[in-house]
Amino acid sequence: FTPEGRGGHVAVIDPRSNQIYFIGGSRLIPDRNPIKSSIIVYNLSNKVFYLDLKSQFSTNNPPYVELPGSQMTYGSEKGTAVVGGPSKDDVYIVGGTLQNFTLLNQIENNATITSNQTLMTNELLNTWNVTAPNIFIYRPSTKSWLSPKTVANGGPTIRRRSTSTVMDQDGRIIYIFGGREQIDTGSPTFICFNDTALSKWNIINAANPLQQYFQMITKYSSTTQGRAGHTATLFDNNTIIIIGGTT
């Protein structure tokens, strides 16, 4: 399996399996696709694949493994991802931009729409950011996504992308700092945020601790300049160091 070139995807290491999981991203639309035009060049990916680090391999031909039954419901890019939770190896994707593939496929197969550039552009805009949940959970052990019904909107109340996100050492609390909103997140304005949101997972069913949801537990404002695309690193002394970003 050779993945398409992409950008804006997430990549995280599962410490139990020693595998890097890659999810989503934007990719070039093939020339044969009827929605491709001079102004519609990219769409999003919902693919999940991994790279096993337990064995040596050549960087000229990395042995990527596709997981065709693990696709995300939506195309996704510019979110952030962390690993943790009650199972210790769940992948949490926070924020980012989303594209509804059901609507996208309907447009691709409708000649009335694809033959009209203006109509098609307007219809394609309606495929973006049409869902409320802003935390998605992928479970490598079952190669599946948790149902959105079991995942509360535990992240920032405003959809944003390019945040910095870290999980605490117990795998229980996600710290989400900054990020931005703009046209590709459904906002007509460009804003860089300087707040920090803390989201904590809670057990739904004591008999099955893997059933969980996230709940915003607190939110801190900051005098630091708002930024996006920065890094965040959690140290052993419970200090988070934030570096760089766009302000």
The CATH number given to whatever domain includes residue 111 is 2.120.10.80
Residue 146 has pLDDT above 90, yes or no: no
Asked whether the predicted pLDDT for residue 205 surpasses 50, the reply is no
Q: Does position 198 have pLDDT exceeding 80, yes or no?
A: no
Task: Tell me, yes or no, whether 202 lies in a domain.
Answer: yes
Mean pLDDT, the chain, as a whole number? 81
pLDDT of residue 39: 78
Banded pLDDT at 81 (limits 50, 70, 90): very high
**What is the number of structural domains in the chain?**
1
- Nearest Cα to 24, choosing from 87, 70, 89? 70
Q: Which two tokens stand for residue 140?
A: 């490598």
Q: What residues does 215 pair with on adjacent strands? A: 200
Does residue 239 fall inside a structural domain?
Answer: yes
Q: Is residue 185 scored above 90 in pLDDT?
A: no
- 4 assigned to some structural domain: no
The stretch 228-244 carries a mean pLDDT of 83
Confidence bin at 94 (pLDDT 50/70/90): confident
Q: Is 121 among the domain residues?
A: yes
**pLDDT value of residue 241:** 84
What is the domain range of residue 154?
A: 10-243
Residue 172 maps to a domain: yes
Residue at 228 is within a domain? yes
Is the confidence at residue 90, as pLDDT, over 50? yes
The answer to whether residue 5 sits within a structural domain is no
Whether the per-residue pLDDT at 130 is higher than 70: the answer is no
Categorize the per-residue pLDDT at 133 as very low, low, confident or very high, splitting at 50, 70 and 90: low
Do the domain assignments include residue 137? yes
